[in-house]
């Protein structure tokens, strides 16, 4: 089945450590996105990529890094520079063009800093 997978589902990190969240899609979508969701809040954009080997900062990119070496994969690294990384992280992808340009989401990764 086509879809978006994120791993791990739950992630625990000690302060000062970098961690990488995985996002893979087999929808053949060109664009991919990373969002952060805090309790009681909507989603905020961290980074996005419209094509391989290219990505752009979103509204809250500080303390995060990404890469896009393959069309299917868009991993997010939460660095030690991120002051408050505990949150729910959602990855999304979108087909280029199309009438609605709808973004489809993965199941999310819940990151907790101990």
Q: Out of 11, 73, 86, 108, point to the residue binding another protein (CB under 8 A).
A: 108
Does the protein bind another protein through residue 86 (CB under 8 A)?
no
Q: Out of 16, 42, 83, 84, point to the residue binding another protein (CB under 8 A).
A: 42
Record the tokens describing residue 106, joined without a space: 């993965």
For 65-71, which contacts have Cβ atoms below 8 Å and span 24 or more sequence positions?
66/34, 68/32, 71/28, 71/30
Instruction: Select from 19-27, 44-52, 66-74, 77-85 the region that touches another protein (CB under 8 A).
Output: 44-52
Return the sign of the alpha-carbon dihedral for residues 62, 65, 68, 72.
negative
The nearer residue to another protein, 7 or 18, going by C-beta atoms, is 7
């Amino acid at each position: 089945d086509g879809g978006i997978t994120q791993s791990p589902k739950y992630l625990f990190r000690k302060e000062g450590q970098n961690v990488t969240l995985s996002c893979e899609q087999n929808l053949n979508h060109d664009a991919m996105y990373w969002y952060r969701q805090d309790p009681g809040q909507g989603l905020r954009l961290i980074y996005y990529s419209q094509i391989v080997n290219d990505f752009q900062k979103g509204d809250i990119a500080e303390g995060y890094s990404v890469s896009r070496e393959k069309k299917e994969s868009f991993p997010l690294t939460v660095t030690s520079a991120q002051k408050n990384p505990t949150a729910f992280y959602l990855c999304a992808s979108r087909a280029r063009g199309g009438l609605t340009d709808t973004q489809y989401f993965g199941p999310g990764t819940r990151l907790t800093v101990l």
